[in-house]
Amino acid sequence: MKALHFGAGNIGRGFIGKLLADAGLQLTFADVNQVVLDALNARHSYQVHVVGEQQQIDTVSNVNAVSSIGDDVVALIAQVDLITTAVGPVVLERIAPTLAKGLELRRANANDAPLNIIACENMVRGTSQLKEHVKKALSAEAWAWVEQHVGFVDSAVDRIVPPSESATNDPLEVTVETFSEWIVDKTQFKGELPNIPGMELTDNLMAFVERKLFTLNTGHAITAYLGQLAGHQTIRDAILDEKVRAVVKGAMEESGAVLIKRYGFEADKHAAYIKKILGRFENPYLKDDVERVGRQPLRKLSAGDRLVKPLLGTIEYGLPHVNLIKGIAAAMHYHSEQDPQAQELKQLLADKGPQAALVEVSGLDANSEAVTEAVKAYNAIA
């Protein structure tokens, strides 16, 4: 079985690509980073440091790489059995035209073998969003063929993988936590269901996507934003700060109450899930900067993402949300010289003030109590 994975970054090399290669799939990474492409094609292998209470170094072997721009990647799309991505939500739209070209070629070559595409991004149904971008790039005829032969499979992906701090400056080495979870929607596959150790199949994906994004990522983001305000550089230092921890835990409990109501999760099991996540944030073997976890604050403050979506859930069910509000206010204070979205947010706040800026990025109602509460919390921090 042949696989093509877009995005040879942290989660690509450290999780999804590793699982596919370990399962014996013939794996090619597609990326735009020439240093990484050259290193993969020179060595065809790299090391994954799995760190936690038990530590091990795994070697991922027999992998190739191709530029995600050009004819080679298009030719591969026409041949492979599985395509996965871990490029970041904003890049999905950029790779869609290439996917469309490859699917056109596949059709022209009369390759009717089933192909499945799985986006492994921190998004609610990211593959379905990618599907819409691909559809826009194809004729109605080509799309009818794609719908028959190509499965667009949504997934939830969980493993904390910060950029590696390789002692040897190896651009391929990656450091990952021991925990990992990749859950895919089995109802969306074309052809036989794949048997890839580490890939779990479910027919109830939304519950898993929301559980992960609105617990781990909600708590992670708030740890980063409050951590930065308190002067911490890493997620571990931030979560060990009792004041930060109390808000983070409170916010995960608030989003948890929404999830319990919506999906019928058992309260004690969900409390154990939160406890485990807090332990993962404390991992002493990972150096995860608040700037990585807080990256792209406009995305994180948008309506469907980890801060505002759970808040909307609490409003829907009439549940408390004081800690989620504190998290949103802290996100509005996020600053980073390297992050264009942080710069944009800063400018927006300077131009329009906190109320209008928050309404613009979050889609929240300007006259809602939630906006008033968030602006009050923002000003209190200022």
Ligand X SMILES: O=P(O)(O)OC[C@@H](O)[C@@H](O)[C@H](O)[C@H](O)CO
Which residues contribute to the annotated binding site for NAD(+)?
A: 3-14
- Name the nearest CA neighbour of 151 among 133, 169, 127: 127
What residues numbered 130-159 form the site for ligand X, per CB under 6 A? 158-159
Please pick, from the candidates 84, 85, 116, 122, the single residue that binds ligand X as defined by CB under 6 A.
Answer: 122
Locate the DSSP E strands across 115-205.
115-119, 150-153, 155-158, 174-177, 181-185, 199-202
Closer residue to ligand NAD (CB): 94 or 133: 94
Distance from C-alpha of 328 to C-alpha of 323, rounded to nearest angstrom: 9
* Cβ 216 to ligand X shortest distance, Å: 6
> Does 274 participate in binding ligand X (rule CB under 6 A)?
no
Please pick, from the candidates 150, 160, 184, 324, the single residue that binds ligand X as defined by CB under 6 A.
Answer: 160
Q: Which does 256 bind (CB under 5 to 8 A by kind): ligand NAD, ligand X, none?
A: none
* Cβ 255 to ligand X shortest distance, Å: 14
* Cβ 311 to ligand X shortest distance, Å: 17
Contacts from 365-369 at CB under 8 Å and sequence distance 24+?
368/315
For residues 94-125, one letter each, b for 16 or more C-beta atoms within 10 angstroms of the residue's C-beta and e for the rest, the string is ebbebbbbbbbbbbeeeeeeebbbbbbbbbbb
Q: Which stretch binds ligand X (CB under 6 A): 72-80, 202-210, 216-224, 353-361?
A: 216-224
Residues engaged in binding ligand NAD (CB under 6 A): 6-12, 30-33, 68, 86-89, 91, 94-95, 121-122, 157, 159-161
* Cβ 158 to ligand X shortest distance, Å: 4
* Cβ 15 to ligand NAD shortest distance, Å: 7
Closer residue to ligand X (CB): 235 or 377: 235
* Cβ 371 to ligand NAD shortest distance, Å: 27
Question: Residue 259 region, left (φ>0) first, then alpha (ψ -120 to 50), else beta?
Answer: alpha
> Tokens 């070209």 — which residue?
101
Closer residue to ligand X (CB): 126 or 151: 126
Token pair in block for residue 149: 């032969």
Please pick, from the candidates 5, 106, 211, 295, the single residue that binds ligand X as defined by CB under 6 A.
Answer: 295
> Does 232 participate in binding ligand X (rule CB under 6 A)?
no
Q: How many residues bind ligand X (CB under 6 A)?
A: 10
Distance from C-alpha of 138 to C-alpha of 273, rounded to nearest angstrom: 42
Distance from C-alpha of 287 to C-alpha of 161, rounded to nearest angstrom: 10
Token pair in block for residue 121: 């991004």
- Name the nearest CA neighbour of 371 among 352, 344, 346: 352
Distance from C-alpha of 149 to C-alpha of 146, rounded to nearest angstrom: 5
Q: Which does 6 bind (CB under 5 to 8 A by kind): ligand NAD, ligand X, none?
A: ligand NAD
CB atoms within 10 A of CB 263: 14
* Cβ 251 to ligand X shortest distance, Å: 14
Dihedral sign of CA atoms 67, 72, 77, 82 in order: negative
> Does 217 participate in binding ligand X (rule CB under 6 A)?
yes
Closer residue to ligand X (CB): 122 or 188: 122
Residues found near ligand X in the complex (CB under 6 A): 122, 158-160, 216-217, 220, 293, 295-296
